Amino acid sequence: MKLKIFKFFTIIFFSLLIIFFSSSELVSEEFALGDETKSYYALDSDNKKIHFSKIDDIEFKDNSELIIFLGNSQTHGVNQFVKGNSNYVEILSKKYPNKNINAISIPNGSLTEFYMISTYLISNFDIKKIILPAFFDDTRESNIRTEIISFFDENNKFNFDDNIKLILSKNIIESENTISTQDLSEEFLNNFFEKNSFWKKRESLRAQVFTFLYKLRNTIFFITPSSKRYKIEEAYNQNINSLQSLINLCTLNNINLNIYIPPIRSDIEIPYDNLEYNDFKKKIEEIINVNKDFQYLNFEKIIPAKYWGMKSSTNLLKTKEYDFMHFNFQAHKILADSLQILLK
C-alpha cells in the first residue's frame, strides 16, 4: 500500500511539474510559417488596416468600389522580414491611393472558403473587383474552418450553391433548443478557470502536442516541404466546383474577377506531380476564359530564386528546409508590379 501511495504522489508531482514548466508560447499560425517568415498585414497610407485574416474582423474604411485581394499565407507572409518591409497589398495600396484596395488572406485558404467569403462580400459591400490566386496546394483542403462555418451558421441567409449547402449541412451541429444545467455550469466554470494562467495555457499546450506529433510524423516518414503533394480527388473537385460558383456569382453581379497562378520557386523541383499541376493550370484557364471580361494570368516563374527563402525545420532533426510558399519583400515588390496590370 505504501508503494501505491508513493506512486500516486509521484504521478501528481510529475504531472504538475510537466504542466508548470511547459512553455505557453506557441502561436500555431506562426509555427506553420516558420521562424524565417513573419506575418504582416497591410496598412494604407493613413496607417489604417486594409488587410484582414478573419471574416469576422472585416471592416472596410470606405465601402465603395472595393478591390479585394484574396490569398493564403503567401499574401501576409514575408520571408526574411526586416523593419520597414511590407507585402504586395500594401505596396499597391500606397501606389494607387485612389483605388480602394483591401485584402483578406487566410492560411491554406481553399477556393471553397474564398467562394464563401466572396458571397458574403458581394451581398454586403460594393465590390468592383476580386483578385484571387489559385494555389494547387490549397485544392487539397476540403475542410471549412470552424470560424467560417459558425459565421455562416449565424448569418444563415446566403444563397450558396448546392455544393456548399451540402458541406454546411454536414458541418453545422444543430444545437438543442433548451440550455441544460450542465451547459450553464460548464460556462460558469470555464469562465472561472480561464482567469488562472495554469488553466489558460492548455490551449497553447494542445498546439504544442499537435506540433510535436506533426514533427514526429515528418521525421518517421521523411516528410519535408519538398515531398510531393498529390491531388486529392474529392477536395480537388469540391474546390474547382467552388471556383465555378464564384465565376457564376461574379458574372451575375457584374464583378470583375481575376485569377492568377501564384509564384512558386523554380530553382528546385516543385512539390507537385507535374502532370497534375499542369492539368490544374489548364483547368483554371479553361473555366476563367468562359467569361471574356475575366482575366487569367500565370505568375509562377516571376520570382527569381534569390528572393525565396528557407523555413525552419518541420521535423525533429532541426534541419532547414526549402520554403515553397513565402518569399521576401523584394519578391513582394515584383509581384506587386505584375499585379498592377489588373488595376489599370
Partner 1 sequence: MFFNSITFLIFLSIVCFFFWNVNKSFRVGFLVFSSCIFYGFWRWDFLLLILFSTVLDYTISILIDRNDDNNKRKIYLLISIITNLSLLAYFKYLYFIVDNINFAFGSNISLYEIILPFGISFYTFETISYTTDVYRRLIKPESNFLRYALFVTFFPKLVAGPIQRTKEFLDQVINPNKFSLDNLFKGLKRIIEGLFLKVVLADNLSAIVDDGFNINPDILSGVDVMTLSALFGFQIYFDFAGYSSIAIGCALLLGFKIPENFNYPYISKSFKEFWKRWHISLSSWIRDYLYLPLLGVKVLETTAKGGIGNKLDQKKGRNKNLILFITWAIMGLWHGANWTFILWGLIHATLIFIERIRTKYITFKTNTIINWVTVYIFSMLSWIPFRAENIENTLTMYSKLFDLGSFINLNLRENYYLIAFILTLLFLMLYNFRSYKLAKNKIGIFIIDVSKITLMVVLTYIFLRPIQQFIYFQF
Residue numbers at the binding site for partner 1 (CB under 8 A) = 1, 3-5, 7-8, 10-12, 14-15, 18-19, 140, 142-143, 167, 170-171, 178, 180-182, 185-186, 189-190, 193, 202, 205-206, 209, 217, 221, 230, 232-234, 237
DSSP per position, 118-140:
HHHHHHHS-EEEEEEE--SGGGG
- In terms of CB distance, is 189 or 290 closer to partner 1? 189
The nearest distance, CB 159 to partner 1, in angstroms, is 22
Cell of 62: 470606405
The nearest distance, CB 219 to partner 1, in angstroms, is 13
- In terms of CB distance, is 99 or 140 closer to partner 1? 140
Distance, in Å, from the CA atom of 73 to the CA atom of 58, rounded to the nearest integer, reads: 17
- In terms of CB distance, is 172 or 290 closer to partner 1? 172
- In terms of CB distance, is 98 or 182 closer to partner 1? 182
| Residue 279 burial (C-beta neighbours within 10 Å; 0-12, 13-18, 19+) | middle
Name residues whose C-beta falls within 8 Å of residue 124's C-beta, 6 or more positions apart in sequence. Answer: none
Task: For residue 328, give the DSSP letter.
Answer: B
- In terms of CB distance, is 24 or 330 closer to partner 1? 24
- Residue 324: phi and psi, rounded to 5, are -90, -10
Cell of 204: 497553447
- In terms of CB distance, is 90 or 141 closer to partner 1? 141
Of 183, 128, 190, 124, residue with least CA distance to 155 = 124
Name residues whose C-beta falls within 8 Å of residue 255's C-beta, 6 or more positions apart in sequence. Answer: 122, 127, 128, 129, 130, 249
The nearest distance, CB 28 to partner 1, in angstroms, is 14
The nearest distance, CB 113 to partner 1, in angstroms, is 15
Cell of 158: 446566403
